[in-house]
């Protein structure tokens, strides 16, 4: 019963976020990737997490934003003469006025503003958005999905090991588009580190290119395993090169899949609410 109530609360909160979200203009370049990180895996495999960051995760565990990445080669060519603006004061203002931003987009060394500046300089300034628009749109996209709940519905929970194939299948079953994963190796074990969702310039979802390494196994670690690690080896997708229209063998939809936009997400959330209410009363 508690689980059903949790789902109802989350879906209602998501509806509120979608309907009250600030309208932000399209990105200038064609495609982008929303990357979200399971920070425990990053800490284990990289050894780059400060003790303060680990303490933070004990109170604020969950999937975190890594960034919103443009198709960098294309965008840098288009905006090759664009100068990076002085943004330090603007970032400080964001950090001071938005405690949720620090919770959703933290840096593993606690240098949050430096991390945001890096993501903006490398990716955000090529979107054609302002710094604040880039930050807000990334947050909006991140909040559209309950990543842990999405995986749990496919019995992919903390403490389990699952193939990349099954993880992608479960995500695609919920979002109707093909994702990418990053699986990092530490002491011979693959850790589920990132989920990457591909997005068009109008923020609708699209299939990520290629199939990746679907035979790789990914372990989903919990807080009790939050220890310092060593240098990791990544075995799965990086920022994609677009134009690959291959359909993977496990792909649930056609090659011409219709993008899931804001309206479709709204309908999907309504369906979830109705389903959870029915389950609640039946059981």
User: What confidence tens digit (pLDDT) does each residue in 223-270 have?
Assistant: 999 864 444 455 554 443 333 333 344 333 322 233 333 434 444 444
Residues 263, 82 contacting (CB under 8 angstroms):
no
**CA-wise closest residue to 239 among 191, 185, 194, 201:** 194
Q: What is the pLDDT of residue 233?
A: 53
Phi first, then psi, for residue 140 (nearest 5°) are -60, -45
Give the integer Cα–Cα distance in Å for 141 and 4: 24
Chain segment 104-143, per-residue pLDDT in tens: 999 999 888 889 989 988 888 888 888 888 999 999 999 9
Backbone angle region of 187, left / alpha / beta, with phi > 0 → left and psi within -120 to 50 → alpha:
left
Closest CA to 147 of 195, 204, 218: 195
State the Cα–Cα distance between residues 46 and 69, nearest whole angstrom. Answer: 21
- The residue assigned the tokens 């679907």 is 214
Examine the pLDDT at 84 and tell me if it is beyond 70: no
Share of the chain above pLDDT 90, in %: 47
């Amino acid at each position: 019963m508690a689980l059903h109530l949790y789902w109802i609360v989350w879906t209602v909160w998501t509806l509120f976020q979608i309907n009250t979200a600030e309208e932000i203009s399209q990105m200038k370049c064609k495609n982008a990737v929303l990357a979200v990180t399971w920070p425990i895996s990053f800490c284990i495999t990289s050894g780059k997490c400060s003790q303060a960051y680990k303490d933070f995760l004990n109170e604020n565990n969950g999937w975190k934003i890594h960034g919103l990445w443009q198709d960098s080669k294309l965008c840098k060519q288009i905006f090759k003469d664009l100068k990076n603006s002085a943004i330090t004061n603007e970032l400080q203002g964001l950090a001071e006025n938005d405690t949720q931003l620090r919770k959703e987009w933290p840096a593993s060394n606690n240098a949050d503003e430096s991390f945001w500046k890096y993501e903006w300089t490398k990716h955000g300034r090529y979107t054609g958005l302002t710094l604040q628009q880039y930050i807000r749109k990334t947050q909006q996209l991140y909040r559209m999905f309950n990543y842990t709940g999405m995986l749990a519905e496919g019995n992919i929970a903390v403490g389990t090991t699952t193939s990349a194939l099954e993880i992608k299948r479960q995500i695609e079953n919920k979002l109707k588009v093909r994702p990418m994963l990053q699986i990092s190796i530490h002491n011979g074990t693959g850790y589920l580190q990132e989920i990457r969702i591909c997005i068009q310039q109008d923020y609708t979802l699209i299939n990520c290119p290629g199939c990746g390494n679907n035979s790789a196994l990914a372990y989903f670690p919990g807080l009790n395993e939050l220890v310092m690690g060593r240098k990791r080896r990544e075995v799965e997708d990086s920022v994609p090169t677009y134009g690959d229209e291959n359909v993977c063998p496990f792909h649930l939809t056609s090659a011409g899949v219709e993008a899931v936009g804001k309206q479709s997400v709204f309908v999907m959330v309504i369906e979830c609410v109705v389903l959870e209410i029915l389950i609640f009363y039946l059981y």
